Structure 1
Amino acid sequence: MKFRLSFAPIERWLEAERDQLPLWLPVMLGLGIAGWFILPERASWIALIAAALGLSLAGVAIGSGRRAGVALLVAGLAIASGCALVWAKAEWVAAPVIQRPMIASFDADVAQVQQLVAKDSVRVALRPIAAPKLPPKLRVTIANADAPVGLARGDRLRLRARLVPPMPASLPGGYDFAVTAWFQQLGATGKAFAPVQRLSAAPDGGSLRDRIGRHTRESIAPGAAGIAVALVTGDQGSVSETDADAMRRSGLAHLLSVSGLHITAAVGAAMLLTLRLLALSPKLALRWPLTLIAAGAGAVTGIGYTLLSGAEIPTIRSCIAALLVLGGLAIGREALTLRLVATGALIVLLFWPEALIGPSFQLSFAAVVAIIALHEHPRMRAFTAAREEGVLYRLARNAAALLLSGIAVELLLAPIALFHFHREGLYGAVANIFAIPLTTFVVMPLEVLALLLDLVGLGAPFWWATGKAIALLLWIAHSAGNTPGAVALLPGMSRGAFSLLVAGGLWVCLWRTRWRWLGVLPFAAGAGLAFATPAPDLLVTGDGRHLGLRGADGSYALLRPKAKDFVRDMLAEAAGIDEGLADLDDLPGASCTTDTCRATISRDGRSWTILATRSAYLAPIKAMNRACAEADIAISDRRLPRSCKPKWLKLDKPMLSRTGGIVVRFGDPASVLVTKRTGDAHPWIDPPSLAGRSEAP
């Protein structure tokens, strides 16, 4: 009896939340997937699966007659399945990876083409032919001046390229391309040398996506071409860096990724057009199920648009959601619910479990969950309910609802954006009020009409109008993105803080009783931890070539004055600053030569001296030993002599090969974050190699 009474409050709560319990199935599956990525060793993965199965056994012990027992049983099985699923997927996609840089000449078939306007080049995915010393799939960048005219998927090329292994994260918390490349089965990346010879062209001129993208770029003004191509094909490589940065800063970057907004617009337009055309016939309107037929037309349009745009994860997720909505409409069920979103997430995670750790998956699902959770609230339902009122009042109420939705979305997306990108646009809610209707009801319909009318040579006026509409969209993006205080910056967020933020947000959004508000506590705790994280004092990339050192005024100085923009942007993002990096030569307390730099900074009443090399020339051994002995930290992209003994840290090539990039915070005590973890057994850390890799083919 006592056992029963102790579970009574929990049972009453779960009974009240019975309709919400299925929503936690993809969350538990995702928890197992996340655990596999976070935990480093095989023993810890097995322990996670065993612990999850133990949770299921606890559910069995409680009994299947109680909701608590069933919930624990299902949760444990989902967690174990998530960990096992992504582990199996990682082993299944295993492909050879080159171990070190190499120069190779080879023939290859083009599998994918992406224009990179900002770099005046094109990125191609290649499948080498009769090249056993190369991985089966690789990616190279070709300068536009060297690329064959009209390069398209299906072409066969002969080229010579410098290839390198997929790059891991250069700094803690940075983008780890090695993980992405592993699941895409990319064994190398690199840059092609001229000349690049086309051996044969694709018989149909490339894929439909390539042809539409090429035609769009040729038909519209250059400034708007990148946005136009992204909207119809999902290829963002044609967007200039200036415009892409403005879209990110203004919170409008989601418009460039073909996802929910675009699929909804395409499916809705197809349904409306089909329904209106068929309804013109009284016989069809009376005897045929026009709504069902229109839903079918919408489904075909959604699937076609997904395939056309490259079938990226956000697009697939949106297409699945759209198909579920259409299915609901066909059987007379409510169209858009959190259960539908949970079903879409479950399908994506079952087929692409690696998508969980990507910002695209997290941002897209978080946005939809925020919108639906807000609009399912009784007060919001009452506010948005249809009523008799004037046009101006209706427009104002709709604008207010859109603004509230934007605020809810920004609140839920901010932790994700700050965790992955260290920045978040603060004016996105306002900018989206104007940008979403403009994109949905003006830009996209005009672009579709232009493409259709080009079949009969009448698309030019619509391309002109599309260009003007996109110019207005870019004006909104640049205005919102360049306004003072438009971007919130954060130098870094720990996984613990991010986990608390995500857990709190999910708890608030997925439950319905008053206990949901307990989620505010972990959310607030995570936010407090995130914003309490001090800015890094020293950042060192994994190759030891670049470092950023924070001065007394909070600005950062760079070791190598000629470092490329990519390096400068990476270090600025990791530091959480929006301005450029100065040169270490100009930092107060720094003394630099062509070969070395020595800098002294003060933190919390203590002086720290950093010594770094910045050339390939070796200093006299005695002078180097003396400089090392006077330094707290010695940094180099080569092996320093054993006699070089700094007071605290020696970050040379052998050390950095074990730790990866380093973030140091000086204080009492000082702290060090590393990129690589000791004993990490994930397959991309020590991937399968190619026989004879030491020789170029």
Structure 2
Amino acid sequence: MLQKKRHNYLTLYNRRIFDDFAAQEKDHIFLLIPILLAIGIGLYFGMTNETPLWVALTGAVISGLTTYYLREYYIAFLSTLSIAIVLTGFSSAQIRTHYLDTNFLPYSFGPTGIQGRIASVTPSQKGYKIILEDLQISRLRADHIPTRVRLHANSLKTQIKPGQWIETRAMLKPPPQPASPLSFDFQRHAYFQGIGAIGFTYGQIKVLSEEASPFSFFENLRHVIQEKITHIFPNTNDADKKALAIALLSGNKQLINEETHEAVRAAGLAHLLAISGLHIGLVSAIFFFGLRSLLALIPSVSLNYPVKKWAAFLAIAAALCFTLTTGASTPTVRAFLMTSIVLLGVILDRKAISLRTVAWAAIAILILLPESLLSPSFQLSFAAVTALVAYYEKRSPDLSSPSYIRYVKSIFTSSLIATAATTPFAAYHFNHIALYGVASNLVAIPITVFWIMPSGLLALCLMPFGLEGVALHIMGWGIELLVWVAYQTANIPFSQIATPSMGVPAIIALTIAGLMICLMTKIYRKTGVALIGLGFLLASLNPLPDIVINETGKLSAIKDQEGNTYVSNLRHASFTRENWLQNWGLENHKPVSFQKKLPCDQTGCQFQHKNGTWVSFNEQAIALEEDCQKADILITPWDSPMICDNPKHIIDKKALKRSGAHAIYLGNGKIEIETVRDNRGLRPWTQYGR
């Protein structure tokens, strides 16, 4: 009897606590599901070792069953349900990794003969990027053949299309390691694209099969669109028109020259070039309202049939075609899913846009493509959309002002909210912030919405009849104006501010803060505002390395206490140097060579930190014994001597092969060394030197 009373008391107590929380946040509990999934996925990718596949799946099943049996105990119910969702996210990432099982080329190889089927052909500024699958590579062991290769060809004398089988000679190498422990993981990115090697072609490409595969329909369609646009804009004076038209109508941004791309980024307009909600929304809106208006002109149809629902269904089909034609990137898929849910709401007579719509889109992407959580496109697009929907859900429409004033206000407000939501992620991934994005968007968004995209979509519709010329020229005039706005904004002083690497704890704190402000109410929202301060504090306290060394040991860089940077080589590995400067927040800084600032000779250079630490950058094996006598840290691309006791740390060929690029921290009075392997560990996508 006593036990039964105790059971009833606990049940009542748990119910009261749950009801207290649910009364405040009942409409937002569902929105926590994608967050919990993201936590599980983040835990998986944050691990340094792989766990057996059955562990997380078993945990998810057990916690799911526990949730069912504890459904009367609300605190326990919510706890076990949260654990089940987290483990589901973990399992989805693990299953996705196991399913792909991308095989990496273990070492540089070639030149060699290679045959394969073209998965995609993408024109770029410096040639063509070709992805091949179903490979046959001469003189290479069968278990070393990569799943896919991405080849660069300077020019193509033979026209090639996706689905064709080709033969060529190529030089291959594995996807590169991160340039430093702070840098983007290219190997992980390549693994989830199925790319196990990269390289470049030698000589001509021979087509073995002229017939393209029917399964490459949208790749071929993209290729045809690019050809037609190139035919309309053949002159070099029309380079920006051609490149941006191709980017907006086919999703290929490789043809945009670096100067224009940088101006667009500095002006805060880069989101206009990524096929996302703006573009998919325009496609679906044009088809929805256009088809509905056409059907309304037929009284016998409009009065007897649900033409609004028909138009919604056909708009979904149009948005799907545009999504597949433009490459189905993460922002595009997110936009398509949200648009489809909105239009399904029209079909089912349900509420269209809400945070639940955003949550459903996030859940679908995180379950099917869990690796997208780590991509800048996913984070930027969902940050902007979540903030905008959260704002407009709570905002009462102002009907007292004229429509054109309301429109300008909505663009200004939307740009301000989206900029505030995406700025931390832009700083984290790209190490810069565009200051004048709100102002430039006031001009650029109407140009894109009412001029560029409608004329571009009209051109797509006219392409089957060969009548796209006029529409593309009209689109080109709009692109000219958009580029002019970008350059004018980018040329304003301080249009773009470089920021140093902010660190993972800071971006996590800022993400949690943003989610609490958007999704929660009352005291929880105030807590989110406080967390923003914590995020900025963590970002400002994030330690930056004083010295970085690449994975071969042949390129090193130093940042001194005054913010000056020195590099061992100014002629090679420019991408790695630029990456290091970005991490330091010195993107526009010009480094100088070791030889101009450090005591150097033919065998290497010496550097003394203010704390007295001597660092030797050895370049010749003959000087290793001497450097062993006086250096506190010895850095060399060679194998160090068997007896080298004086240095506290030795970074030699063996250490670099085993652990990849190194970062050295000297600022806190002691020597700390971090490696790429420390951060990544041994995962299916990690590969170190052999």
8 Å Cα contact 2:312/2:347 also seen in 1: yes
Matched residues, percent identical? 26
- Tell me if the contact between 2:179 and 2:576 (Cα under 8 Å) persists in the aligned partners: no
Query: Which of the residues 597, 604, 612 maps onto 1:607?
Result: 612
1:471, distance to aligned residue in structure 2 (A): 1.7
Listed one character per residue, the Cα deviations across residues 553-610 of structure 1 (whole Å, up to 9, x for unaligned) are 312121112124322321221221122432323653x0234542223342xxx23333
1:296 to 288, 313, 326: 313
Q: 1:72–1:49: structure 2 CA closer, same or farther, 3 Å change rule?
A: farther
Instruction: Please state if 1:144 is matched with 2:145.
Output: no
What RMSD, in angstroms, separates the aligned Cα atoms of the two structures? Answer: 2.8
Does the 8 A contact of 2:167 with 2:206 survive in 1? yes
- Are positions 1:359 and 2:351 aligned together? no
2:95 maps to a residue whose letter is A
* Counterparts in 2 of 1:184 and 1:459: CA distance versus 1, 3 Å: closer
Asked whether the 8 Å contact 2:135–2:145 carries over to 1, the reply is no
Instruction: Give ranges in structure 2 of 5+ residues lacking alignment.
Output: 1-8
Match of 1:201 in 2: 210
- Amino acid of the residue matched to residue 124 of structure 1? I
Q: Please name the residue that 2:266 is paired with.
A: 249
Of 338-347 and 677-686, the range deviating more from structure 2: 677-686
* Residue 271 (structure 1) shift: 0.9
Letter paired with 2:663:
V
Between the aligned partners of 1:372 and 1:114, the Cα distance in structure 2 is: 35
1:52-71 aligned within 5 A? 63-65=70-72, 67-71=74-78
| In 2, Cα distance between equivalents of 1:197 and 1:402 | 51
Deviates more, 1:548-557 or 1:14-23: 548-557
Return the alpha-carbon distance in structure 2 between the equivalents of residues 474 and 431 of structure 1. 11
Change in Cα spacing, 1:6 to 1:455, as seen in structure 2 (3 Å) is: closer
Describe the superposition over 1:203-247 as per-residue Cα deviations: whole angstroms up to 9, x where unpaired.
599711111112212312222211111101111111111222222
Of 397, 400, 415, which residue of structure 1 is paired with 2:406?
397
Give how far 1:317 is off.
Answer: 1.7
Question: 1:14 aligns to what?
Answer: 22
Counterpart Cα distance in 2 of 1:667 and 1:494: 17
In 1: Cα distance, 2:174 partner to 2:30 partner: 42
Partner of 1:519 in structure 2? 528
CA shift, 1:660, in A, is 2.1
Quick check: 2:277–2:332 contact (8 Å CA) kept in 1?
yes
AA paired with 1:596? G
TM-superposition CA deviations, 1:634-663 (whole Å, max 9, x none): 222332333445533211121122332222
Post-superposition offset of 1:346? 0.7
TM superposition shift of 1:343? 0.5
Confirm whether residue 571 of structure 1 aligns to residue 580 of structure 2: yes
State the alpha-carbon separation in 2 of the partners of residues 9 and 427 from structure 1. Answer: 47
Q: 1:153 to 1:315 in 2, by over 3 A?
A: same
- State the shift of 1:455 in Å: 4.7
State which of 229, 233, 249 in structure 2 corresponds to 1:216.
229
Equivalent-residue separation in structure 2 for 1:476 and 1:645 (angstroms): 61
Alignment of 1:300-339 (within 5 A): 300-339=317-356
Q: Return the letter of the residue paired with 1:112.
A: S
Equivalent pair of 2:283/2:457 in contact (CA under 8 Å): no
Corresponding position: 1:28 with 2:29: no
TM-score normalised per structure 1: 0.89
Q: Are 2:266 and 1:259 aligned?
A: no
1:502-549 deviation digits (Å, cap 9, x = unpaired): 112112211134432212233321221112224432122222222221
Does the 8 Å contact 1:374/1:405 carry over to 2? no
Residue 122 of structure 1 is matched in structure 2 by 128
Report the counterpart of residue 73 of structure 1 in structure 2: 80
Find the aligned partners of 2:106 and 2:497 in 1 and give their Cα distance. 39
Residue 145 (structure 2) pairs with residue 135 (structure 1)? yes
Question: Secondary structure of 2:677's match?
Answer: coil
The answer as to 2:97 corresponding to 1:90 is yes
Of 93, 108, 125, the residue aligned with 1:101 is 108
Q: Which residue in the other structure is 2:624 paired with?
A: 624
Q: Secondary structure at the match of 1:650?
A: strand
Cα offset for 1:201? 3.3
Q: 1:154, 1:201 within 8 Å by CA — same for their partners in 2? A: no
Cα distance change, pair 533–587 in 1 and its aligned pair in 2 (3 A) = farther
Give the whole-Å Cα distance in 1 for the aligned partners of 2:554 and 2:267. 33
Residue 287 of structure 1 aligns to a residue whose secondary structure is coil
Q: Structure 1 residue 591 and structure 2 residue 599: aligned?
A: yes
Q: By how many angstroms is 1:57 displaced?
A: 8.4
Q: 1:21 Cα deviation (Å)? A: 0.4
Letter in 1 for 2:318: T
1:51, distance to aligned residue in structure 2 (A): 8.1
Quote the Cα distance in structure 2 between the aligned partners of 1:2 and 1:199.
74
TM-score by length of 2: 0.90
1:273 and 2:282 are equivalent in the alignment: no
CA distance in 2, matches of 1:127, 1:6: 56
SS at match of 1:238: coil
The one of 194, 209, 212 aligned to 1:185: 194
C-alpha contact 2:621 2:638 (8 A) present in aligned 1: no
Between the aligned partners of 1:233 and 1:679, the Cα distance in structure 2 is 35
SS in 1 for 2:553: coil
1:187–1:455 CA distance, 2 compared to 1 (3 A): closer
Cα distance, 1:27 vs structure 2: 1.0
Do 1:58 and 1:69's aligned partners in 2 also have CA atoms closer than 8 Å?
Answer: no
The superposition leaves residues 98-117 of structure 1 with CA deviations (integer Å, 9 ceiling, x where unpaired) of 21111121222211111221
- Encode CA deviations 1:263-308: one digit per residue, 9 max, x unaligned: 1011111112111212222222222212111101211101111111
TM alignment of 1:457-606, pairs within 5 A: 457-585=466-594, 587-588=596-597, 590-602=598-610, 606=611
Partner Cα separation in structure 2 for residue 140 and residue 447 of structure 1: 30
